[in-house]
Chain A
Amino acid sequence: DAGVTQSPTHLIKTRGQQVTLRCSPKSGHDTVSWYQQALGQGPQFIFQYYEEEERQRGNFPDRFSGHQFPNYSSELNVNALLLGDSALYLCASTIGDRGNQPQHFGDGTRLSIL
Chain B
Amino acid sequence: KNEVEQSPQNLTAQEGEFITINCSYSVGISALHWLQQHPGGGIVSLFMLSSGKKKHGRLIATINIQEKHSSLHITASHPRDSAVYICAVRFGTGANNLFFGTGTRLTVIP
A interface residues with partner B (beta carbon < 8 Å): 31, 33, 35, 37, 40-45, 48, 55-56, 58, 88, 90, 92, 97-100, 102-108, 110
Contacts and interface: CB of A to CB of B under 8 A. Distances in A.
A31 B31 CA distance: 17
Contacts, number: 66
28 contacts: A31-B96, A33-B96, A35-B100, A40-B102, A41-B102, A42-B86, A42-B101, A42-B102, A43-B43, A45-B97, A45-B98, A45-B99, A48-B96, A48-B97, A55-B96, A56-B96, A92-B43, A99-B31, A99-B90, A99-B93, A100-B30, A102-B48, A103-B33, A103-B45, A105-B42, A105-B43, A107-B40, A107-B41
Contact of B41 (A55, A58, A88, A97): A88
B95 A44 contact: no
Contacts of A104: 45
B40 A105 contact: no
Nearest to B98: A45
B95 to A, nearest CB: 6
A21 to B, nearest CB: 13
Contacts of A44: 100
Main secondary structure of the interface of B (DSSP, over half): strand
Interface of B: 4, 30-31, 33, 35, 40-45, 48, 86, 88, 90, 93, 95-103
| Among all A-B residue pairs, the 5 with the closest Cβ atoms | A42-B100, A105-B43, A107-B42, A99-B96, A108-B41
B96 A97 contact: yes
Contacts of A58: 97
B7 to A, nearest CB: 14
Contacts of B93: 99
